[in-house]
Amino acid sequence: MWNILRTRLLQGQRTTAFPASAPELPPRFRGRLALDPSLCDEGCCGCVDVCPTNAIAKKNGLALDLGRCLFCSECVDRCPTDALTSTPDYRLATTSREALTLSGEPLELAQSLSADIAKRFGRSLGIRVVSAGGCAGCEAEVNALSNIVFDISRFGVHVVASPRHADALIVTGPVSQHMLGALEATYRAIPAPKFVIAVGACAISGGPYAESPQVEAGAASTLPIDLFIPGCPPHPYTMIDGILRALGRPVP
């Protein structure tokens, strides 16, 4: 007993100060990419060629789809100018799929999903998580949200076991054919009003599995998605930021 208390004291305070202050991220963290088409070389298609998920298109100007992006920064390394750069900005969540395509304008970050959602769930949100062909990377980071460092229960957000107790559904993975039915059944079992969060490149677009015949190209192929949280996997801060935004709660 004394040992437990002593260990507790020695451990100190572990919970992050975020969102009261901006999060601390490692110097090599690869966040949102930034695009400056005016610097893009006419004849160069280096980024398009190297991108593993074909997230970059260069037709009528340069466009980069954060929903497909794995944040590998191969395009940045390849870019001979500064048309493509990597930033430490961890804020990536949007409420529409189109908003994820960057073409030089600032990223339109997610906002409160609706006054009703903010009112009902702003202080208490139960989330059911379904992995549908995910590698367990996004799942691991979703799990991290409940640890003592990120502790989303501070915001009244908790992961629930039964869809009947849930208000929202997090989908991870590209949605494998074998999980399609179970995913849809889980969604149906959640009482309305409800909303769906696609976490990670796979759930948003199929990610590196988009071409695979054994998967759908992400959760949008079968469910209406209300919140998109890009990344491979998204950093826990990126997820908290997105969820709080969707609930209309203040974030830095």
**Interface with other proteins (CB under 8 A):** 3-4, 7-8, 10-11, 14, 25-30, 50-53, 70-72, 129-144, 146-150, 159, 161-162, 173-174, 176-179, 181-182, 186, 207-209, 211-215, 232-233, 235
Single out the residue of 36, 92, 95, 98 nearest to residue 65, CA to CA. Answer: 98
Least Å distance, CB 36 to other proteins, is 22
Nearer CB in complex with other proteins: 1/60: 1
Binding residue (CB under 6 A) for ligand SF4 from 75, 125, 129, 204: 75
Task: Look up residue 248 and give its two tokens.
Answer: 């209309």
HSE-CB at 55 with a 13 A cutoff on CA atoms is 35
- Minimal distance, residue 53 CB to ligand SF4, in Å: 5
Nearest distance in Å: CB 226, other proteins:
19
CB atoms within 10 A of CB 158: 15
**With respect to other proteins, which residue has the nearer C-beta, 39 or 160?**
160
- CB 147, min distance to ligand SF4, A: 28
Q: Is 73 in the site for ligand SF4 (CB under 6 A)?
A: yes
Residue 50 CA to residue 247 CA, distance in Å, equals 37
Among other proteins, ligand SF4, none, partner that 115 touches (CB below 5 to 8 angstroms by kind)? none
Residue 202 structure tokens: 């796979």
Q: Which of residues 12-51 bind ligand SF4 (CB under 6 A)?
A: 50-51
Token output for 129:
């998580």
Q: Which stretch binds ligand SF4 (CB under 6 A): 1-9, 20-28, 72-80, 142-150?
A: 72-80
Per-residue burial over 58-94, b = 16 or more CB atoms within 10 Å of its CB, e = otherwise:
beeebbbbbbbbbbbbebbebbeeebbbbeeebbbbb
Q: How far is the CB of 141 from other proteins (least distance, A)?
A: 7
C-beta of 205: minimal distance to ligand SF4 in Å?
A: 11
Selected binder of ligand SF4 within 22, 39, 44, 72 (CB under 6 A) = 72
Using CB under 6 A, list all residues that contact ligand SF4: 50-53, 55-56, 64, 69-75
